Amino acid sequence: MDHTVVIPPDAQLAPLLRAYDRAVAAKHRQFFIGLAFMAGAFALACIGAEIDPGLFWEKLGNFTSYFNRLAHLDTGAVVLSDPAEWFWGLRRWTRLLGETLLMAYVGTVTGAVLAFCGCFLCSRNLVSSALLRIVIRRIFEICRTVPDIVFAMIFVAAFGLGALPGVMAIAIHTTGALGKLFSEVVENIDMKPVEGIAASGGSWVSQVRFGAVPQVLSNFASYAVLRFEINVRGAAVLGFVGAGGIGEELIVAIRKFFYSDVSAILVMIVVCVMLIDTLSEKLRHRLLAMDERP
Amino acid sequence: MLVIDGMSCVFGQTRAVNNVSLSIPRGAFVGVIGRSGAGKSTLLRALNRLVEPSEGRIHWDNEDVSSLSGRALRDWRRRCAMIFQQFNLVGRLDVLTNVLTGRLAHTPGWRSNLKLWSADDRAIAMAALDQLDIANLAPQRADNLSGGQQQRVAICRALVQEPDIILADEPVASLDPRNARIVMDALQRINRHYGMTVLCNLHSLDLAHAYCDRLVGMAAGRVVFDDVPAALTEAAARELYGMEADEVLDAAPTGATQPDGVPAGAASNASAM
Amino acid sequence: MTGHSPLRDAFLANRDRIADQHAALLDPGWRSRMGTIAIFGGGIVLYIASFFLLDMSLSNLIGGFRRLADIVGLMFPPTPETWSRFYLYLGAIGQTLSIAFLGTLLAAVLAVPMGFLAARNVVANRLVHLLARRSLDTIRSVDTLIWALIWINVVGLGPFAGVLAIMCSDFGAFGKLMSEAIETASDKPVEGILSTGGSRFAAIRFGVVPQILPVFASQILYYFESNTRSATIIGIVGAGGIGLHLSELIRVLEWQQAAFVILMVLVTVAAIDQISQRLRGAIIGRRR
Ligand SMILES: Nc1ncnc2c1ncn2[C@@H]1O[C@H](COP(=O)(O)OP(=O)(O)O)[C@@H](O)[C@H]1O
Ligand SMILES: [Mg+2]
- pLDDT tens by residue, B106-137: 889 888 888 888 888 888 999 999 989 998 89
Let me know if residue C1 belongs to a domain.
no
C167 and C52 in a single domain? The answer is no
B16 alpha carbon, closest ligand: 1
| Region B218-239 average pLDDT | 87
C16 and C101 in a single domain? The answer is no
Whether B259 shows a pLDDT value over 60: the answer reads no
pLDDT for position A198: 94
Residue whose CB lies within 8 A of the most ligand 1 atoms, among B11, B17, B45, B169, for a mutation test: B11
Cα of first residue to Cα of last residue in chain A, in angstroms, is 75
Domain assignment of residue C29, given as a range: 6-56
pLDDT for position B250: 57
Whether C125 shows a pLDDT value over 80: the answer reads no
Would the CB atoms of A149 and C101 count as touching at under 8 Å?
no
Distance from Cα B44 to the centre of ligand 2, integer Å: 9
Question: Across all residues in chain A, what is the average pLDDT?
Answer: 86
Let me know if residue C174 belongs to a domain.
yes
**What is the Cα–Cα distance from C108 to C169, expressed in whole angstroms?**
11
Whether A22 shows a pLDDT value over 60: the answer reads yes
Q: Chain C: residue nearest A257 by CA?
A: C153
Distance from Cα B169 to the centre of ligand 2, integer Å: 7
Higher pLDDT, B269 or C81: C81
Q: Which of A154-158, C100-104, C212-216 has the lowest mean pLDDT?
A: C212-216
Is B82 within 8 Å of chain A by CB? yes
> Of C146, C194, C192, which Cα lies nearest the Cα of C168?
C146
C153 and C52 in a single domain? The answer is no
Chain centroid, CA B126 distance in Å:
22
| Region C167-193 average pLDDT | 79
Return the percentage of chain C with pLDDT > 70, whole number. Answer: 91
C148 and C230 in a single domain? The answer is yes
pLDDT for position C60: 82
Q: Chain A: residue nearest B115 by CA?
A: A294
The chains in contact with chain C, meaning 3 or more Cβ pairs closer than 8 Å, are: A, B
| CB-based neighbours (< 5 A) of ligand 2, an ion | B 41
Domain assignment of residue B31, given as a range: 2-272
Which burial class, exposed, middle or buried, applies to C59 when counting CB atoms under 10 A from its CB (0-12, 13-18, 19+)?
exposed
Confidence of residue C193 (pLDDT cuts 50, 70, 90): confident
pLDDT for position B199: 95
pLDDT for position B256: 39
Whether B267 shows a pLDDT value over 60: the answer reads no
Confidence of residue C287 (pLDDT cuts 50, 70, 90): very low
Confidence of residue C286 (pLDDT cuts 50, 70, 90): low
Q: Determine contact, residues C99/C159, Cβ cutoff 8 Å.
A: yes
- Amino acid B29 reads F
Q: Determine contact, residues B162/A200, Cβ cutoff 8 Å.
A: no
Whether A263 shows a pLDDT value over 70: the answer reads yes
Distance from Cα B29 to the centre of ligand 2, integer Å: 19
Rg from Cα positions in chain A: 28
Is B158 within 8 Å of chain A by CB? yes
Let me know if residue C165 belongs to a domain.
yes
Q: Determine contact, residues C222/C272, Cβ cutoff 8 Å.
A: no
pLDDT for position A293: 46
Is A237 within 8 Å of chain C by CB? yes
Whether C32 shows a pLDDT value over 80: the answer reads no
Residue whose CB lies within 8 A of the most ligand 1 atoms, among B7, B8, B9, B14, for a mutation test: B14
Does the C-beta of B40 come closer than 6 Å to ligand 1?
A: yes
pLDDT for position B120: 87
Confidence of residue B200 (pLDDT cuts 50, 70, 90): very high
Higher pLDDT, C154 or C263: C263
Does the C-beta of B41 come closer than 6 Å to ligand 1?
A: yes
Q: Which of B162, B164, B197, B273 to mutate to test the interface with C (most CBs of C within 10 A)?
A: B162
Phi-psi category of residue B216: left, alpha or beta, with phi > 0 → left and psi -120 to 50 → alpha: beta
Least CB–CB distance from C47: residue in A55, A109, A149 = A109
C124 and C234 in a single domain? The answer is yes
Domain count along chain C = 2
Whether B212 shows a pLDDT value over 90: the answer reads yes
Which burial class, exposed, middle or buried, applies to C123 when counting CB atoms under 10 A from its CB (0-12, 13-18, 19+)?
middle
**Interface residues from chain B to C (CB-CB < 8 Å):** 96, 117, 119-120, 122-124, 126-128, 130-131, 135-136, 138-139, 159-160, 162, 194
C120 and C180 in a single domain? The answer is yes
Higher pLDDT, A196 or A24: A196
Whether B260 shows a pLDDT value over 70: the answer reads no
Whether B225 shows a pLDDT value over 50: the answer reads yes
| Region B34-54 average pLDDT | 92
Please name the residue whose Cα sits nearest to atom 21 of ligand 1: B41
C204 and C268 in a single domain? The answer is yes
Q: Which of B80, B126, B161, B198 to mutate to test the interface with C (most CBs of C within 10 A)?
A: B126
The chains in contact with chain A, meaning 3 or more Cβ pairs closer than 8 Å, are: B, C
Please name the residue whose Cα sits nearest to atom 6 of ligand 1: B11
Confidence of residue B41 (pLDDT cuts 50, 70, 90): very high
Distance from Cα B10 to the centre of ligand 2, integer Å: 16
Render pLDDT for B61-71 as a digit per residue (tens, 0 to 9): 989 999 898 88
C51 and C86 in a single domain? The answer is no
Confidence of residue B271 (pLDDT cuts 50, 70, 90): very low
Let me know if residue C197 belongs to a domain.
yes
Whether ipTM > 0.90 holds is no
C44 and C87 in a single domain? The answer is no
Q: Determine contact, residues C99/C231, Cβ cutoff 8 Å.
A: yes
Q: Determine contact, residues B70/B63, Cβ cutoff 8 Å.
A: no
Does the C-beta of B31 come closer than 6 Å to ligand 1?
A: no
Whether A10 shows a pLDDT value over 50: the answer reads yes
Distance from Cα B235 to the centre of ligand 1, integer Å: 26
- Each residue of C257-285: b (16+ CB within 10 Å) or e? bbbbbbebbeebbeebbeebeeebeebee
Q: Determine contact, residues A55/C155, Cβ cutoff 8 Å.
A: yes
Q: Which of B142-146, C238-242, C257-261 has the lowest mean pLDDT?
A: C238-242
**What is the Cα–Cα distance from B215 to B199, expressed in whole angstroms?**
10
Render pLDDT for C217-253 as a digit per residue (tens, 0 to 9): 777 888 888 888 888 888 888 888 888 888 888 888 8
Domains of chain A: 87-292 (1.10.3720.10)
C166 and C35 in a single domain? The answer is no
> Of B44, B42, B49, B18, which Cα lies nearest the Cα of B30?
B44
Whether B251 shows a pLDDT value over 60: the answer reads no
Q: Determine contact, residues B198/B184, Cβ cutoff 8 Å.
A: no
Domain CATH number, residue C101: 1.10.3720.10
Let me know if residue C104 belongs to a domain.
yes
C118 and C154 in a single domain? The answer is yes
pLDDT for position B189: 92
C95 and C194 in a single domain? The answer is yes
Render pLDDT for A46-72 as a digit per residue (tens, 0 to 9): 777 777 777 777 777 777 787 788 887
Higher pLDDT, A82 or C28: A82
| Region B35-46 average pLDDT | 92
Q: Which of C31, C36, C56 to mutate to test the interface with A (most CBs of A within 10 A)?
A: C56
User: Residue B217: beta bridge partners?
Assistant: B33, B225
Let me know if residue C65 belongs to a domain.
no
Within chain A, what is the greatest distance between any pair of CA atoms?
88
Higher pLDDT, B46 or C182: B46
Let me know if residue C129 belongs to a domain.
yes
> Of A225, A145, A214, A146, which Cα lies nearest the Cα of A185?
A214
Render pLDDT for A159-216 as a digit per residue (tens, 0 to 9): 888 889 999 999 999 999 999 999 999 998 999 999 999 999 999 999 999 999 999 9
Domain CATH number, residue B214: 3.40.50.300
